[in-house]
Amino acid sequence: MTQTPARDLRCAAGHLRNARAALRGQADPGGEFDFLNSDILDVEAILLYQAGGESEPIPAEGRTPAESVALAAALLEAHVQSVPLAAWSGLRLIQQRVQ
Amino acid sequence: MAATIGDLIADLHHDSAHLGSPGRGAVQAQTHLVAWRHLAHATATVLDNLCIPLEEPAARVGEAITAQLSEIADASRGYRAQPAEALLGLSVRVGAIADLLATVPPPTTPQDIASAQGVQSSVLACIHAAARHTLPVLAGKPAGGALRQLADDTRVFALAPPGQYASRYFDLAAIDARDASVDGAVCAWENAARDVLQGRHLVTAVVFQTVAADLAVVTAAAAAITERIAAAHPDLVAASLAQDAVASLTTARDRWRDASIWPDGLRYRGVKSTDLQTASARMRATLQGEFRRDGRWMTDQELQQGSSPHHNLAVLRRSIAAAEKVGKHHLAGFTQAAFGQDRLWIKARLLTSLEQTSPNTWQVAGRDGFLRYAWETHRARPLLEITQDASVALTAAANIFNLTAATPPPRLAAGVSACPWEAVTTRLPLHQDAAQRSLHTPTRPADGWKIG
């Protein structure tokens, strides 16, 4: 359900946090985790600066990183005008890397 | 690329080895005396900035030589002349070394003391060459005697080839944060992270996580690249040392990874600041460009297309040194958040009923469903412990990683004999680590130093 832009941005940040936590538990032979973790944090920071407050706690429910990132993107799609462009460009790159 | 102390010393040795004929006559004597005023001042500043503990023999050597330098400088007062160019060139480099050393805290560990001695010996070897160069000009002049004494007392440092002296301080560089290198990017990130973590109103929950994630990136890079370099260049880093360094860096990386993912429902608010995000992104991009390719760390062959293994290791040692400082700022900031101010909050609905009803645990503030942090039952407690572990692990890793600087790089390869320098042996007191000191400290005569 779509809510206020600020709350959805915080929820999107919560999904991104879940994506990072899920990535932490995965095998990482190429050493990609640390860079991806920081890149996702970048997007979280942009969203939270925009929305104010902290990311909403979202139950992870066993989602994969890709699923969590997709849910975050879906929430943001509902508020395109409220989402800074830097968050979009960061999110698109993250989506490609967590596939 | 920033000049390091090692680079400056290599240049210094090169120039000292190629000092031409000083010429003769009254004018030459004046130009040399005036140049020695600069060189003596710069050298004394190096010895002063090294801050070798007074109980060390090298400190007494330094004090005695400083007194001689002072005497030579005094003898040059009142002369007005263009300083001799060759000596002035040396004094500029020695002065640059002194400036770089000004940022170094006094050595306390045996490794740091040995490193300080390595720099002292390297510089004094050049001073010997400069004094020998000038002696013919000042024969019979008032400063001639002091210069003769200086040449005698510094001779012992010039008996070893430059490559014999090693020091972790050789990595120190004057780094410009605007420089488009890993050094520059890490320097800019260190400055930004320090400013934000020390700025009481700038630090936020995202800042803590971002810095922790960055620290994991830096330590991961150091571990991965050191592993590759050590495997391909056992002459540059001993296998056992590399193994220890990589293991400690990997431990630190894992701890900072843990600290980069906060539990749900914690809030720590501050003023929006984008400086850290910008510097962090730049540092990661630079590290990726320098050390990664196609989503993996580069192989040794790929790394060598950019820079030498020695250069890469030096860059990473500097990066880890910067990271260690940032790690300490992070821990101090988070400790302040946990114990000091009251801006750390927790989402009320995430509390267990026990936590909610526990007496004296929560001061209800009721803003946006968040409650003010209380230490006794708070779920941030493990996070503080993780941060403490991470900071300690990074300091330990930095100390072990620094030991990889003990192997001297090939310097002045042309014209320097590769044969062992058997004249330098140790006759040091038994309580000192002779194996280590023999590398840095010149022979101490059985009847003591002929100085003072």
What does B62-90 look like in DSSP terms, one character per residue?
HHHHHHHHHHHHHHTTT--SPPPHHHHHH
Phi, psi of B3 (to 5 degrees): -75, 130
Residue A29: band (very low, low, confident or very high) from pLDDT cuts 50, 70, 90: confident
Q: Residue B312's beta-bridge partner residues?
A: none
Quote the pLDDT of residue B441: 34
What strands lie across the sheet with B344-347, from one edge to the other?
B266-268, B344-347, B370-372
Quote the pLDDT of residue B258: 92
Select from A17, A35, A42 the Cβ nearest to the Cβ of B277. A42
d(CA B450, CA B452): 7
Cβ neighbours for B81, distance < 8 A, ≥ 6 positions apart: B27, B30, B31, B33, B34
For residue B367, the SS3 value is strand
Q: Which residue of A has its CA nearest to B272?
A: A49
Q: Could you read off the pLDDT of A52-98 as tens digits, one per residue?
A: 877 888 888 889 999 999 999 999 998 888 888 889 999 999 999 98
Contacts of residue B213 in chain A, CB cutoff 8 Å?
34, 37-38, 41
Q: Could you read off the pLDDT of A87-99 as tens digits, one per residue?
A: 999 999 999 998 7
Q: Which residue of B has its CA nearest to A57?
A: B264
Structure tokens at B285: 């991009």
Select from B206, B281, B297 the Cβ nearest to the Cβ of A48. B206
Q: Which helix (H) or strand (E) holds B363?
A: none
Do B39 and B90 touch, CB atoms closer than 8 A?
A: yes
Q: Which residue of B has its CA nearest to A38?
A: B213
Rounded to a whole number, what is the distance in Å from the CA of A21 to chain B's nearest CA? 7
d(CA B442, CA B452): 18
Quote the pLDDT of residue B445: 40
Is the CB of A54 less than 8 angstroms away from the CB of B253? no
**What ipTM was assigned to the predicted interfaces of this complex?**
0.91
Rounded to a whole number, what is the distance in Å from the CA of A9 to chain B's nearest CA? 15
Do B131 and B42 touch, CB atoms closer than 8 A?
A: no
Q: Residue A60's beta-bridge partner residues?
A: none
Is B273 an 8 Å CB contact of chain A?
no
Distances from the Cα of B181 to the Cαs of B185, B238, B283, in angstroms?
Answer: 6, 27, 9
Is B337 an 8 Å CB contact of chain A?
no
Is A10 an 8 Å CB contact of chain B?
no
Do B12 and B123 touch, CB atoms closer than 8 A?
A: yes
Is B277 an 8 Å CB contact of chain A?
yes
Phi, psi of B173 (to 5 degrees): -140, 155
pLDDT averaged over every residue in chain A:
90
Is the CB of B261 less than 8 angstroms away from the CB of A17? yes
> How many Cβ atoms from other residues are within 10 Å of residue B125's Cβ?
25
Structure tokens at B166: 């090693």
Chains A, B: CB pairs < 8 Å: 75
Beta strands in chain A (DSSP E): none
Q: What mean pLDDT do residues A23-43 have?
A: 92
Select from B216, B272, B296 the Cβ nearest to the Cβ of A34. B216
Quote the pLDDT of residue B437: 33
Quote the pLDDT of residue B347: 66
> Which of A7, A15, A18, A38 is best to mutate for the B interface (most B CBs within 10 A)?
A38
Rounded to a whole number, what is the distance in Å from the CA of B279 to chain A's nearest CA? 11
d(CA B15, CA A81): 64
Name the DSSP class of B162: G
Q: Could you read off the pLDDT of B162-218 as tens digits, one per residue?
A: 777 777 788 888 787 788 889 999 999 999 999 999 887 777 888 999 999 999 999
Q: Percent of chain B at pLDDT above 70?
A: 78
Name the DSSP class of B372: E
Rounded to a whole number, what is the distance in Å from the CA of B208 to chain A's nearest CA? 11
CA-nearest of B363, B402, B387 to B248 is B402
Q: Which residue of B has its CA nearest to A17?
A: B261
d(CA B365, CA B345): 9
Is A2 an 8 Å CB contact of chain B?
no
How long is chain B? 452
The reply to whether the predicted model has a pTM over 0.80 is: no
d(CA B300, CA B308): 10
Phi, psi of B441 (to 5 degrees): -105, 130
Is B55 an 8 Å CB contact of chain A?
no
Quote the pLDDT of residue B180: 84
Task: Collect the ranges in chain B with pLDDT lower than 50.
Answer: 359-362, 364-366, 376-377, 407-452
Is B319 an 8 Å CB contact of chain A?
no
Phi, psi of B268 (to 5 degrees): -145, 105
